[in-house]
Amino acid sequence: MFKNSSKRFSIIAVSLIAVGAVFLVGFYIGKDFSLTEVQRITNLSGKEEGVPVQVNFSPFWKVWNTLNDKYYATKAPLDQDKVWGAITGLTSSLGDPYTVFMPPAEKKSFEEQIRGNFDGVGMEVGMKDNILTVIAPLKGNPAEKAGIKAGDKILKINDKVTTGLTVDEAVKMIRGKKGTEVRLTLFREGKKEPFELKLIRDVITIPTVDFELKKEGVFLIRLANFSEIAAGLFKNALREFIQSGSNKLIIDLRGNPGGYLSSAVEMASYFLPVGKLVVEERGKGGEIQDFRSYGYNVFNDNLKMAILVDQGSASASEILAGALQEHGKAKLVGTRTFGKGSVQELVPITKDTSLKVTIARWFTPNGRSISEGGLSADYEIKVTEEDIAKRRDAQMEAAISLLTTGKATSTATTSKQN
């Protein structure tokens, strides 16, 4: 989730690195033991010996020197690559999948993804319960066309088992040139066995907003992400809603992985009086920053609104849905959301490297931590295999029914309010 003014954002894409171990045997006669390990290093800059610290760095330098002295390789590893690896290990030691160091290649890939200028299959992935998981396939792209669903567990990429892979490593394997194939072995809840899908990579297009007036007189706005331009497009969609004459609105946030915080606050402001809390940010030192409605509040009490959510609804989606739910403006229909409630800041380390670091967590107006399990729907409607086979959108049917009859039911499912 991005914060424009401070380059802070929340990104479902994270990086955890496995740390290798070196077993040392034997000894070397003739080494000058009068020098400290850091003094023995002559080909590095930035060594700040004597800087007071509360941890002992001598083991690090001893390992560094031992690797240089003893490690056998046909091609000597570059010292700078070892530095990148050490920093990566440092970030992974925190156990936070959203705090990640990006060496030059990863930084370039990340920047391409943010610009939307890349080839791949078009889906957001992240770690959930330490398993590589699909957050959401992007509408109209190869992953969605192949049948990938939010919540699918990625067990293998081609013939590579994903256990132990970082998200960044997995993304690098999944992405590739347009027209090439990648095979994914997936496990989906409700299926007994894993299954394989073959996807053909393409130029990824990232949709934002579309809308329509349903035959039942319900106006539908589908929001695919919270990009920089999303708030403006959402405003245009609301204008169309007003002109339609309908008072029934569905906002579809299913499969929406999030984006800019500012866009979420802007959108919530169309439904809330000025000053109403949209989301609360709690930082490392206990400091609290509130993000409140700008007070556009263009709709009266006659508005009936439902928000569709699922396990692919994350980050800014959860902020918007949580705020409108808790202020009594909308009911949530679908399934529990992903639970991405932290914010990262992008810190330049060198001109070619960056660090994404978690600096705060998000809480709803009523103080719920978004990170702890996500948001539960007011009306839980699960998608069944029968629904998929018959191309039936039971969640949409339930939301339409809620707004037109007051009961969230579909042709296949009777919902129960939580």
Pair type for strands 181-187 and 195-200:
antiparallel
Task: Give the separation between CA 320 and CA 279, rounded to whole angstroms.
Answer: 9
Cβ–Cβ contacts within 10 Å for residue 353, how many?
18
296 confidence band (pLDDT: 50, 70, 90): very high
Contact 293, 268 (CB under 8 A): yes
- What is 260-305 written as a DSSP string? BHHHHHHHHTTTS-TT-EEEEEEETTS-EEEEE--------TT-EE
Task: Tell me whether the CATH fold assigned to 117-203 matches the one assigned to 209-342+363-417.
Answer: no
Res. 369 pLDDT band, cuts 50 70 90: very high
Does the pLDDT at position 336 exceed 50?
yes
* Cα–Cα distance measured from residue 370 to residue 395, given in angstroms and rounded to the nearest whole number: 22
pLDDT of residue 37: 61
* Eight-state DSSP code of residue 108: H
pLDDT computed for residue 22 by the predictor: 26
The reported pLDDT for the residue numbered 228 is 82
Q: Six-digit token pair at 78?
A: 């570059």
Per-residue model confidence (pLDDT) at position 31: 45
Residue 52: pLDDT band with limits 50, 70, 90: low
Question: Which ranges of 150-281 does DSSP label H, i.e. alpha helix?
Answer: 167-174, 230-244, 261-268
| Domain definitions of the chain by residue range | 117-203, 209-342+363-417
Q: Which of 35-39, 166-170, 222-226, 324-328 has the lowest mean pLDDT?
A: 35-39
Q: Are 338 and 312 spatial neighbours (Cβ–Cβ below 8 Å)?
A: yes
Identify residue 26 by its one-letter amino acid code. Answer: G
Quote the pLDDT of residue 6: 40
The yes-or-no verdict on residue 119 having pLDDT over 60 is: yes
Residue 135 pLDDT greater than 50, yes or no: yes
What percent of the chain is modeled with pLDDT above 70? 83
Query: Is residue 330 scored above 70 in pLDDT?
Result: yes
Query: For 211-238, what is the mean pLDDT?
Result: 94
Which pair of tokens denotes residue 193? 């066995």
Find the length of the chain.
418
What mean pLDDT comes out for the span 97-116?
79
pLDDT band of residue 303 (cuts 50, 70, 90) is very high
Q: Which amino acid is at 19?
A: V
State the pairing for strand pair 153-157/181-187.
Answer: antiparallel
Q: What confidence tens digit (pLDDT) does each residue in 59-75 have? A: 988 998 898 888 887 76
Q: pLDDT for 308-322, tens place per residue?
A: 999 999 999 999 999
- Measured in degrees and rounded to the nearest 5, phi and psi for residue 100 equal -150, 140
Residues 334, 310 contacting (CB under 8 angstroms)? yes
Quick check: helix, strand or coil at residue 358? Answer: strand
CA pair distance 65, 84, nearest whole angstrom: 16
Phi-psi region of 51 (alpha: psi -120 to 50; beta: other; left: phi over 0): beta
User: Cβ(128)–Cβ(206) under 8 Å?
Assistant: no
Say if residue 1's pLDDT is above 60. no
Q: What is the pLDDT of residues 399-418, one digit of tens each?
A: 999 999 999 987 654 444 44
Average model confidence (pLDDT) across the chain = 84
Q: Residues 178-198: pLDDT tens digits? A: 999 999 999 998 888 999 999
Residue 105 banded pLDDT, cuts 50, 70, 90: confident
- Alpha carbon of residue 115 to chain centroid: 16
CA angle 325, 329, 332 (to 5 degrees): 40
CATH class of domain segment(s) 209-342+363-417: alpha beta
The CATH homologous superfamily to which domain 117-203 belongs is PDZ domain (2.30.42.10)
Task: For residue 150, count CB atoms less than 10 angstroms from its CB and return exposed for 0-12, middle for 13-18, buried for 19 or more.
Answer: buried
